[in-house]
Amino acid sequence: MNKKKIIITASLLTMFAVIGAAMVGFTFLQTADDIIYNEKLTLLRKLNHILPSEKYDNDLLHDTIMIKPATQLGTNRETSAYRARKGDQDVAVVLSSIAPSGYNGPIELLVGIYTDGKLAGVRVVKHRETPGLGDVVDIARSDWILGFDNRSLADPDEMHWKVKRDGGVFDQFTGATITPRAVVKAVHNALIYFQQNQEKLFKKNDEDIETHKSHP
C-alpha cells in the first residue's frame, strides 16, 4: 500500500470516528432528560415504598436538605434527606444510611422516620450480600426488613436493639448473622441521628446540618 492510500485510509477512519462520536454525543443529549426523569421516578418509587404518597402532599424529591458526612449514618460524603409534609405539617424524613460492616461490604439503606421518632420503614437499596443468605435483607427476597416498621428508640429499648443471638429482638438468618447485625445497628444509629437533629432536618432552608459523633 503506497503512502497516498495510507493517508486516504487514515483520513476515512478518522472521519468515521468523528461522525460516530458526534452521533453518540447527540443521542446522549437527546436522551439525557429521559434518563434523569426515569432516575427520579425510580427514586420516588423507592421512597413511596417507605412513605406511601397519601402520607404527604409536598414534592418529596425537591423538599430536601443536604447532610454532611456523618459517622452515625455511616456516610463519607454529602447525602440528601427527603422531607415529607402534609398541610404544611412535618410528617417524616427519609435518610440515606450505610451499614459499613455487611458480610460482603457496605449495605446502603433508606431509613424513613416519622416526627414522633417511629420508623416509617427501611429499605436496602444496594448490597453485595450472598444470594440465599445475607441477601434476605432485601425486600425482594423476604419480608425481614418489615420488622423495623413502627419501631423506635424506645421500642425496643437500647439493650435489645440487636439480633436475637446477641440478646436482642430482631431475627437473624440461618447461617448469616453478620448481615442482619449490621443492618440493625445502622438503623438504630439512624434513629439516634434523627433524635439529635430533628429540628434541623425539617428547617425550610438549604443550610447543611451539623453531624454528631457515633453513639457507642
Q: What is the pLDDT at residue 127?
A: 83
**pLDDT tens digits, residue range 106-129?**
989 999 999 999 999 999 998 877
Chain centre distance of CA 146 = 16
Q: How far apart are CA 29 and CA 15, in angstroms?
A: 21
Decide: 213 and 70 in contact? Cβ < 8 Å: no
**pLDDT tens digits, residue range 166-198?**
999 999 887 788 899 999 999 999 999 999 999
Nearest CA among 82, 87, 57 for reference residue 67: 82
Q: For the whole model, what pTM was predicted?
A: 0.79
**Mean pLDDT taken over the chain:** 84
Which residues, 6+ apart, have CB-to-CB distance to 182 below 8 Å? 99, 100, 101, 102, 103, 107
Cell of residue 49, nine digits: 415504598
Q: Once rounded to an integer, what is the mean pLDDT over residues 84-97?
A: 95
Cell of residue 178, nine digits: 453478620
Q: Is the pLDDT of residue 133 over 80?
A: no
**pLDDT tens digits, residue range 23-73?**
666 655 555 556 655 666 778 888 999 999 999 999 999 999 999 999 999
Q: Is the dihedral of CA 47, 49, 52, 53 positive or negative?
A: positive
**Residue-range domain boundaries for the chain:** 1-50, 55-201
Q: What is the pLDDT at residue 15?
A: 73
Task: Look up residue 163 and give its DSSP letter.
Answer: B
Q: Once rounded to an integer, what is the mean pLDDT over residues 152-164?
A: 96
Q: What is the pLDDT at residue 216?
A: 34
Q: What is the pLDDT at residue 25?
A: 63
